[in-house]
Amino acid sequence: MIDAVCFDYFNTCTSAVRRGGGHRRTAEVLGVDPAEWLAVLDRTYDERARGGYGSHLAGLRRLCAELGVEPSTAQLRAALELRLETVLADAPLRPEALSVLRTLRAAGVRIAIVSDCWFELPLLLPRTPLADVIDTAVYSCQVGHTKPHAAMYATACAQLDVDPARCLYVGDGGSRELTGATRFGLTAVQLRAPDLGGHLTFHAEPDWRGRVVTSLEAVLDLVGTPMLVA
């Protein structure tokens, strides 16, 4: 029996993440080369996601320093807002995400978002419709570890007050999250939605041989919960 479901956020609750023009605009505001900006974001992803770069303005300032640029506080504040807008634009919620999570919640299933992220998601998630239908959110930048580290799953299960054996984990497979979830004792399921492929992800696990679904609605079948009719 499943008492709780942990969902990855990016590429799972959201559509496939693809970088848009907001990154170029952010780089221009900071006075850095757009290509170098994307390169430093990629290079520092792991450390940023573990919280190593701090948050907000200090973290943006450190990234700029690595590129030899010292933006003003006004530039940093403008870039911060652009960064948040860009992350939202690059990763819109899947159309079915809210209804699936709402259905699970109505059936008494506890729900967590478990995500590798920098400062953006802790600021953005409370502004999304998902905020009203989840029980908790676990952010790597606050835990100090990224998936597949056991601390991510342990934190989620503790906050949900659920035994790992009674918890489902759903993700696209970035950060080798499915292997990590399985190792910790959760039942892991990979989302292979039609839009995924060539999307932005880090440390994917193409060798996953476990259970697969092609839509979030299929998670309801695994839990045994029929979709609510609007």
- DSSP annotation string for 26-72: HHHHHTS-HHHHHHHHHHTHHHHHTTTT-SHHHHHHHHHHHTT----
Residue 198 is predicted with a pLDDT of: 87
Residues of the chain with pLDDT under 50: 229-230
Of 201, 157, 183, 142, nearest in space to 16 by CA: 201
Classify residue 214: in a domain, yes or no.
yes
Would you state the pLDDT for residue 224?
86
pTM given for the model = 0.94
How big is the chain, counted in residues? 230
230 found inside a domain: no
Cβ atoms 187, 212 nearer than 8 A: no
pLDDT for 225 equals 75
Clarify whether residues 111 and 59 are in a common domain: no
Same domain, 105 and 164: yes
Q: In what order do the strands lie in the sheet with 136-139?
A: 136-139, 110-115, 4-7, 167-171, 187-191, 211-213
- Do residues 97 and 199 both lie within one domain? yes
Cβ(6)–Cβ(181) below 8 Å: yes
DSSP letter string, 140-203: HHHHT--TTSHHHHHHHHHHHT--GGGEEEEE--GGGHHHHHHHHT-EEEEE--TT-SS---SS
Residue 112 located in a structural domain: yes
| pLDDT reported for residue 229 | 45
Residues 165 and 135 both lie in one domain: yes
Which of 90, 105, 123 terminates a domain? The answer is 90
Which pLDDT belongs to residue 227?
63
**Judgement on whether residues 123 and 205 belong to the same structural domain of the protein:** yes
| For the chain, counts of helices (H) and of strands (E) | 11, 6
CA 203 from centroid of its chain's CA atoms: 13
170 part of a folded domain: yes
At what angle are helices 177-184 and 150-160 packed, to 10 degrees?
Answer: 60
pLDDT at 226: 66
- Give the domain range for residue 56: 22-90
Q: What is the pLDDT of residues 79-107, one digit of tens each?
A: 999 999 999 999 999 999 999 999 999 99
Q: Residue 1: its pLDDT value, please?
A: 86
Total structural domains in the chain? 2
pLDDT tens digit string along 126-136?
A: 999 999 999 99
The residue from 72, 90, 108 where one domain ends is 90
Residue 21 vs residues 61, 114, 162: alpha-carbon distances, Å: 21, 27, 41
Looking at the structure, do residues 37 and 104 belong to the same domain, yes or no? no
Q: Is 152:174 a contact under the CB 8 Å cutoff? A: no
